[in-house]
Structure 1
Amino acid sequence: MAWRHSLRFRLAATYSLLALALIMLISLGVVSLLLSRMDQQFNARLNDRADTLAEAFANPGAGLGKTAGGANAYTMLIDGDGTVVAASPILRVFEKTRDPFGNQSRVNIGDTPVRAVRREAGAFGTLWVGLPEDDLVSARQSAISALLIALVCTPLILLVVGWWVGRRALAGLQGAANLADQIDPTRSLATLPLPAREDEVHRLLSAINRLLVRIEAGQAREKQLLGQIVHELGAPLTVLKASLRRAEQRTDDPEVRRAALVADELTFTTQDLMQLARGQLELKLAWHYIPARTLQERLERLVPGTDFMGDWTGGILCDPDRLTQAVRNLLANARRAAGPEGSVTLTLAETADHMTFTVRDSGPGLPPELGERIFEPFVSGAGSSGLGLSVSRQIAVMHGGGLSGGTHPQGGAEFVLTIPGAALGDED
């Protein structure tokens, strides 16, 4: 199963996405709150410094014992005409010049971002006070970088952890799925082992086991009913066939001959139904070594108008009745597809290992949309019961061979049935 279709992967991915969304929201909230508090503290420090300096100018005695700034302080005293009359050492270049910053609250002095406020300084004019923002900018960048790293690494960590947790949590379900894959529907349906812990997996497997029991009981009833129907049809059909054969010999009436063919068709249909009811494992082959010509004669009687090609002088190791049924089904389908005026050919080819029966008709070919489904029971592309090809493939597999089919490049359907060759030596 592809990893993207795995339930563990989907659970881990869902868990990771939900956790990432929650972590992103919480982290954004925490970082926003942290940056907001840092900004508030910065503004408080700036306003406190500006208020202290302004009070010292307005009331010289009130500023005793308070520190307004050191050598790196950003302060300027601006008179009423907008001229800088005094400045801290770092801003000494602006003395005796016009106010360089006006009402800007954020300025750059050199490479340092500075946030500034203004205060009235009594008779001295206006006091401009700035505070460097480089520490605040560094803290903001560090917080954003940490958030981005967390958003990149967290999903990968959560995906790995979620995959591991999902693997352990769904181990019982995976084991049950592996066992369910091994169930052969042609055999008796075995129930799945239940885990010791009565959790959701236990409930699911219990429900599957109850379903398997019901399916097996239903299959048994269907087989029993089908077998009874076939048995009830067998005796009347046998009598009907014998009566029609005698009437055909006496009268040579084409309608009687046609009715006899229909009776043969019904007989083989009941045989197909019986094979379906019994199943492959309940059916045993009766092996015989027969001349190929014997099989040809039987098929000529069952499907008149067939052209036989290839080498029919050898011998075949098979169950004659079952192999006749398999090849006859192919020929009957071919005749039905080709119509009364069409051609049906059966070619026998023998190699050292296999015997190959190739049935080809002049009909329209197989419906391309059916594909391999043409061999499933009750699937038909020519208006038949849909059992013949399924039974023919089953018989071929029981002989150790196989059956394939398709549309011939030159038109018409072509089916190839293979069985192992006899490979008999002199002693055999």
Structure 2
Amino acid sequence: MTLIRQQLFPRLGLNVKIMLTLSLILLGFALVSGGTFALIQGRDIKRHLMDQGKLMATMLSGSLQSGLFFENSSGIDQAVTSLLGRNLHKDLQAVSVYDAKQTMILHKLTKTQETPGTTKRLAGLMANALAAFQQNPERGTVWEGDDLLIFTTSVTVATADARPESLYFDTGSETKPPTLVGYAQLAVGRSQYFGEIRAIVLQTGVLTLVFLLVALIATYRLTRETMLPLKRLIDAIRSRGGQENQTAPDEVGFLGDTFSRLVRDLEEAFNTIQGLKDGLEDTVAERTQELRKALAELQETHLQLTQTAKMAAIGRLVAGVAHEINNTTNFISGSLPPLQRRLDELEEILRERGEKDASAEDQRCEALFKKISLLLANISEGARRTSKIVGDLRNYSRPADENMGLVDINQCIQSTCSLASGECKHRIELTQDLATNLPLMEGSQGRLNQVFMNLLLNAIQAQPEQGSILVRSWVTADKVHILFRDSGPGIPPEVMDRIFEPFFTTKERGQGSGQGLSISYSIIRKHQGEIQVRSEVGQGAEFEIILPLKQLPGAEERSGPQ
């Protein structure tokens, strides 16, 4: 088989072989499609010819009813002549009429068929068709010859009796089955049918050739464009391997030889690598462990740096806003005392005047002064509260740098609670139980504010309806304790061990990133402290932070959450 293929395609390129193969496939497809189309069209034409012939036979049968029933030869001849004169089909050759005993009454040919030999031949064929119709009226309606189709139909009259007047009048007799009065035949040639078939075959052949030509051109261009990168690859392989003068049966054969050499080289390289593999496995495992550890530290550091940058930006924004608000508040607060003094003077003048000559207008002015004094007191109280909020914002927005300083834990808690009070107004009771003798401790105020805010917001969000939160602080020996207790649903046991994992959250998508507790745990650990968690389902949760008053140089608490 290989020898035959080599003889048929001696040293042909792969692109030529592909083009020849595709051409043969397209040729087969075109021939099958063209043949199928021609066959379908031929069947349609033949069915149309059959329907047309049956219709003409039916028309002839209807026009012959009266002539055959009354045995009127002139009526029969007139009906046949009328049908031939209409030229319903150009291949209509002859018409025959028989009586009920199958005796030919009339046999008439068209002018083109009036020759002695043709008359005798058509009469014999039509007699054969009539015999076939007698044997099987259903299937013998159409008799097919080589170049002729003969349509046979019976001529019947639906009458109650055989009297002539029953054809036109109701004689009152009982209706009987139709009475057979004769037969009619039409002989139609197939020259037009064959001509249409030849035209369809010719058109199909031309379309097939055009399709094949276009397909060959498209195949050639597609094959050339497809094989161009492969040819470049082969040229590059030959150039690098010093095989410019080497010949191969085709591109695939050359690539096969090159691939075989590459497989042998890879096997040798694999054997060499396999010899080194055993000694490297332990080293790779050790390096992998170190890389995992470094990656975890890098991720944690990246998370902290991102959060630090975010908090720093928020701090700068809050500090700027607080400065602007504080300037406006100072302006209002500074203007209120002089305004109050001027109102007091006016009130004193009005009071002296009222003692001398009191009137209704003076009483009205006195009432207005009282209302204005009340409004000024409200404005003064609002300015005081605004100043307190601004102070809390400044305290909370201090840069969360790594430099440790003395921190007032109670002040941090108060500032955090003040800022978060809007989240729990009218639905959560926030209670502060802070130690009065709490000493200052070493730490980063900004980072501790961040921890307290995370824990407080988690406690608030855990209670969507009514609830309570307790924040306590106390000192024991050289430790400061801060407790956050809520009356929420608690933490399930299966979640307890994962709450400090980065990006772990039980909140719905878009409501939490899972970084708050992870960052808080990392900050407390850097302060050499620890976070203890206690919770029961349905009984709320407690987060207790334990921090040393003084930071030990070079020490860092490594204990996890408890």
TM-score by length of 2: 0.30
| Structure that is richer in helix per residue | 2
Higher Cα Rg, which structure = 2
TM-score by length of 1: 0.38
